[in-house]
Amino acid sequence: MRHRKKGKILGRKRGPRDALFKNLAVELIIHEKIKTTLAKAKAICPIVERLITISRDNNLVSFRRIQSFLQNRQATKKILDTLGPRYRERSGGCLRIIKIGRRQGDAAEMAIVELVASE
């Protein structure tokens, strides 16, 4: 039974799904905008929002927590040095999902996930 188990499965077992989420998070942090399917976009948003929230306190503990998930030094440095201070005063909602229609080959709903501009 699936009682009280939240999160999207996306037709994958746990290992490949975790790798997919990690890779999508790294690409979104580095490029600040990615194009993916709507289901993957909705699944990755809470993960990246949580990482940005952790990065607001730029200390060794937050560095290690973010690095343990991302396992990418460049993305970890960027989220701590630029994204954390950029969204420090924002209480949430750092990401935007824009639907862009269906993919030509399999008609999957596509979306653009991007970081919102700070005010």
Architecture of domain 14-115: Alpha-Beta Complex (3.90)
Burial (0-12, 13-18, 19+ Cβ within 10 Å), 113 = buried
pLDDT digits 0-9 by tens, 60-86: 999 999 999 999 999 999 999 999 999
Q: Are the C-beta atoms of 21 and 69 separated by less than 8 Å?
A: no
Dump pLDDT digits (tens) for 95-113. 999 999 999 999 999 999 9
Residue 4, phi-psi category: left (phi > 0), alpha (psi -120 to 50), beta (remainder)? left
6-21: pLDDT as tens digits? 888 999 999 999 999 9
Both tokens of 51, joined, read: 């990482």
CA atoms within 13 A on the CB side of 34: 20
Mean of pLDDT values over 16-29: 97
Listed by start position, the domains of the chain span 14-115
Residue 2 has pLDDT above 80, yes or no: yes
